[in-house]
């Protein structure tokens, strides 16, 4: 009986360890931190290495759905729809995330990224920064699904 209980306990721990991240598959409405207007619909996807990425599913700002003209490298002149703007975001415990990067299509710049699910998972509080977190800006994304 003890062996069965131990085996079931180990199976339960394995299932928890393999559970998908809370952000995986979620869809968010990005809100411009300056204008407070919705900019895009973004979907998070968990990668094989356990990190998260997010891609633009739909551009909400009229006239901005074209190419990423200011982006460099592989993103230059790529359509914003389908563009992966978040890379390498890691869950560092519970609802906290760090070690990611985010591409700002309007400037073409990439920033370090950290964030946290808030309001019972209804909002995602993000901070993009250069070097240290103090040198950055915040955005609040609203859950769309």
pLDDT single digits (tens) 46-98: 999 999 999 999 998 877 667 788 888 887 888 888 899 999 999 999 899 99
The burial class, CB within 10 Å (0-12 / 13-18 / 19+), for 35 is: exposed
Return mean pLDDT, the chain: 83
Write the pLDDT tens digit of every residue in 20-53: 788 999 999 998 878 888 999 999 999 999 999 9
Look up the CATH architecture of domain 21-143. Answer: Beta Barrel (2.40)
Question: Is residue 124 pLDDT above 70, yes or no?
Answer: yes
Domain spans in the chain, listed from the N-terminal domain onward: 21-143
| 102 phi and psi angles, rounded to 5 deg | -135, 135
In order of 25, 82, 90, 91, 142, the CA distances from 22 in angstroms are 8, 21, 11, 9, 15
Predicted confidence at residue 6, as pLDDT, reads: 40
């Amino acid at each position: 009986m003890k062996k069965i209980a131990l085996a079931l306990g180990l199976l339960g721990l394995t299932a928890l360890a393999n559970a998908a991240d809370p952000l995986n598959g979620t869809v968010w409405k990005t809100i411009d931190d300056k204008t407070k207007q919705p900019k895009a619909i973004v979907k998070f996807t968990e990668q094989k290495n356990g990190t998260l990425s997010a891609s633009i599913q739909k551009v909400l700002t009229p006239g901005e759905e074209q190419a990423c003209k200011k982006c460099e490298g592989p993103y230059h002149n790529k359509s914003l729809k389908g563009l992966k703007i978040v890379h390498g975001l890691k869950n560092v415990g519970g609802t906290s995330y760090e070690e990611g990067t985010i591409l700002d299509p309007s400037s073409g710049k990439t920033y370090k990224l950290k964030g946290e699910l808030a309001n019972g998972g209804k909002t995602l509080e993000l901070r993009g920064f250069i070097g240290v977190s103090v040198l950055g800006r915040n955005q609040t994304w609203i859950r769309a699904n």
